[in-house]
Amino acid sequence: MKTAFRWYGEGSDSVSLSDIRQIPGRPVIVGVLDGKAAGEVWTEQEIGAYRRHIEDSGLRLEVIESVNIHEDIKLGAPARDQYIENFIKTIQNLGAQGIRVVCYNFMPAIDFVRTDLAWELEDGSKALYYDQKALEGMTPDQLVDATFQKSGGFTLPGWEPERLYKLKETMERYQGLTPDDLRKNYRYFLEAVIPACEQCDVRLAVHPDDPGWEIFGLPRLAHSMEDYQRIMDMVDSPYNGITLCTGSLGSNPGNNVPEMIRYFCKRDRVPFAHIRNIRFLGERTFAESGHLSAEGSLDICEILRAFYESGFDGYIRPDHGRTIWNEKCRPGYGLYDRALGLMYIMGIWEALEKGASRR
């Protein structure tokens, strides 16, 4: 396991590189490429400057999340070939700068969804929260407004203003597109990009739908064992991989997360993992919780045991944390609770390793 920590960049993140450097084990940085619209090329110079800035702080950049996929690719629109070509160029430039894993998602129009970004847990901490009934009472525009109001002035991943400005129009373009149509477009994309990824040694890792079911009537392809099997079968290569996000997959009680980890790690399809706990509060209603197993509904120890026993040697980062100790931060991405989460992950891992060597 290689530990990692997501960082949004200078001026965008409330957490500094020197803060991250002081986390025990000095995690690898999971960088973010934003500030350009989906479909534009990131040049090697731009990526190189970003990498050097991180290295100057004594840290390493080896993972990027996300390189957004242009909607025309997902829709199978005529301009997709140009956007796929641009995507490949960005991947080649990332590979040349030492990036080994790129997390992305193939969700139509809208990324992860929460109905409250600052839901108060009983200990006074604030967490991201999802309530299906609340969502059903909202239009997509109302959801966007509610999300902006509670984001504390920070841009959220997948909720870039330029993208949401066109949300209604984008959603209309998806009308009539079936899951099979979307799957066909996904295969077309993977068949084009995976050979390039193999050549420049950059593993793609698709993030699950979050929450793990369809919303607003949009097709979504990545939230179950069967879904992932189908995606993996589209192009049979370790470079066509998964970002195994425990909180996203775990939001659907039908998913057995440790079983999925064992199955896909064994097939060398998991270069990257997000560790997060959630607490079920009702049918399709959950709050994110502290990482500790006892705080949520997922058994984080069993999850890490599944990785450990599969010989996992990819990158693991703590996913969303709560907002605690009056920190002013991007919802889900403060320093304190994610650092606590990472220490917990490392503690379990050390116990697994040392326990195994004693036997």
Which residues of the chain form contacts with Mn ion (CB under 5 A)?
245, 274, 319
Instruction: Give the distance from CA 287 to its chain's centroid.
Output: 17
CB of 171 to Mn ion, least distance (A): 23
Q: Which two tokens stand for residue 104?
A: 């992305």
The residues near 100 (Cβ < 8 Å, ≥ 6 apart) are 62, 63, 201, 202, 203, 271
Q: Residue 131 or residue 210: which is nearer to Mn ion going by CB? A: 210
223 among known catalytic residues: no
Are the CB atoms for 31 and 61 separated by under 8 Å? yes
Block residue for tokens 């699950």: 208
Adjacent-strand bridge partners of 29: 5, 61
Helices and strands per DSSP (H, E), number in the chain: 14, 12
Q: Residue 74 or residue 320: which is nearer to Mn ion going by CB? A: 320
Shortest-Cβ-distance residue relative to Mn ion: 245
Query: Which among 103, 197, 245, 265 is annotated as catalytic?
Result: 245
The residues near 157 (Cβ < 8 Å, ≥ 6 apart) are 32, 65, 66, 111, 112
- Please tell me what DSSP assigns to residue 286: E
Q: Residue 144 or residue 245: which is nearer to Mn ion going by CB? A: 245
207 among known catalytic residues: yes
Q: Residue 91 or residue 245: which is nearer to Mn ion going by CB? A: 245
Are the CB atoms for 233 and 280 separated by under 8 Å? no
The residues near 148 (Cβ < 8 Å, ≥ 6 apart) are 159
Q: Residue 95 or residue 211: which is nearer to Mn ion going by CB? A: 211
CB of 337 to Mn ion, least distance (A): 15
Query: Which among 319, 329, 336, 337 is annotated as catalytic?
Result: 319
Query: Which among 70, 207, 223, 291 is annotated as catalytic?
Result: 207
Q: Residue 83 or residue 312: which is nearer to Mn ion going by CB? A: 312
CB of 248 to Mn ion, least distance (A): 5
320 among known catalytic residues: yes
Q: Which two tokens stand for residue 53?
A: 């800035």
Strand order in 285-289's β-sheet?
116-120, 126-131, 285-289, 277-282
Q: CA torsion 258→99→19→9, rounded to 10°? A: -110
CB of 273 to Mn ion, least distance (A): 9
50 among known catalytic residues: no
Query: Which among 50, 315, 333, 336 is annotated as catalytic?
Result: 333
CB of 48 to Mn ion, least distance (A): 27
Query: Which among 129, 197, 239, 274 is annotated as catalytic?
Result: 274
CB of 208 to Mn ion, least distance (A): 7
By annotation, the residues acting in catalysis are 207, 245, 274, 319-320, 333
